[in-house]
Amino acid sequence: MSEDIIVGRLSVGGSATLVFSVNEWRGKPFACVRKFVLTQKYEGPTKSGLVLNKNLLYELILALAQLEKTIPPQEKHEFKRIPKTDTEYIKIETMPSEEIDDLPAVDVREFVDTRSYQGPTKRGIRLRWNLLPDVIACLREQAKVIGENEKNKPSLFEEGAFSDLGKESKTNPEPPEADGIAKLLDEDLKQFPDDFIEEIAGDGIYLVLPDVPLRLEQDNAGAYQLKINDEVYCAVRNQVEANFIIYAQMCGHKDVTVPKEMIHIFKTVKAYENYARTVQTRLVAKVLKIAGQRSVAEYEVRKKMSKVGLPRLKTD
């Protein structure tokens, strides 16, 4: 057996940490997810965890990615079973939170179905719902390592089986419908700034937007600046003009034309922010009916709005 390759660590609360690693046994790669604890009495691995061959890892990544796009229901819910052997399978379930204001949990556990015993084992992991994207990212990193090993051993493994699992998609961003907002609201989302700006005469100021998120700062003289890391991107007249540019970037635009007259900027930003607040309020109400828990509804709405570039603003 070769030495473990640690690809990620994820704190799951309290003294517990999930450690994601890749190893090889008898020439075959496998991914290991092991729960470690650090207490006054013991420091080290526990019996909780998963050992996955490349096919099970692939199936688990796909299943959890699908689960992450859903809204967890109020009750305990079995999402999927992944066969392991004739008598063993991995069950993915969502569990309601034991705390009123906490998020639900995701349980990924091996089950057995034999004559002597039918039920769960200690081989599994449990995590809060908001940690699901981080777990998927770590599993993808494991798949990436296995994929690189496959490329180095073309005579033993099918080339490319895991070559794309560890990589982010390079295609264009999915439309809002893919994130569930349009379906929940039963209408298409409006686009900034085109759906909010009035038709104006004259040319505006054309800007090519950077890929790095912009942030607003004031210098010692009180002047407003949009910055990329520690570099000044451009000067702006006020916070509203800054928001006009930032909102365009959040929506995925590569460039934007900023009106010269502040009245047009004020009206556009105000209309868009009122719209974003309305969408946010309606989404929380919709998701709350499904999840039955405000903390879950608010978390899911933040996640969905972030994916489509909608700002999260204070509501009444």
Burial of residue 75, with CB atoms counted within 10 A of its CB: 0-12 exposed, 13-18 middle, 19 or more buried? exposed
Pair 50, 110: CB distance under 8 Å: yes
Q: How far, in Å, CA of 105 to CA of 84, rounded?
A: 23
Facing residues of 32 across strands?
A: 21, 51
Return the CATH number at 49.
3.30.2450.30
**Separation of CA 105 from chain center:** 16
pLDDT for the residue numbered 149: 72
Classify residue 202: in a domain, yes or no: yes
- From residue 159, alpha-carbon distances to 32, 114, 142 in Å are 22, 36, 16
Domain annotation covers residue 245: yes
Residue 234 has what pLDDT? 94
What is the chain's pLDDT, residue by residue, as a tens digit (316 residues)? 467 889 999 998 878 999 999 998 877 889 999 999 988 888 888 889 999 999 999 999 999 999 998 888 888 999 999 999 999 999 999 998 877 668 899 999 999 999 999 999 999 999 999 999 999 999 999 999 988 876 666 544 444 444 455 444 444 444 444 457 888 888 888 999 999 998 765 678 999 999 999 999 998 899 999 999 889 999 999 999 999 999 999 999 999 999 999 999 999 999 999 999 999 999 999 999 888 888 899 999 998 899 889 998 887 6
170 assigned to some structural domain:
no
- Confidence at residue 167, expressed as pLDDT on a 0 to 100 scale: 47
Total domains present in the chain: 2
* Distance in angstroms (rounded) separating the CA atoms of residues 88 and 53: 14
| DSSP H helix total and E strand total for the chain | 6, 13
Alpha-carbon distance of 58 to 76, in angstroms, equals 25
pLDDT of residue 280: 94
Same domain (yes/no): 143, 195: no
Backbone angles phi, psi at 61, to 5 degrees: -60, -45
DSSP assigned state of 188: P
Range of the domain at 105: 5-152
Cα-based distances in Å from 186 to 52, 66, 77, 179, 304: 40, 21, 26, 13, 15
Are 26 and 128 in the same domain?
Answer: yes
pLDDT at 198: 81
Do 133 and 27 belong together in one domain? yes
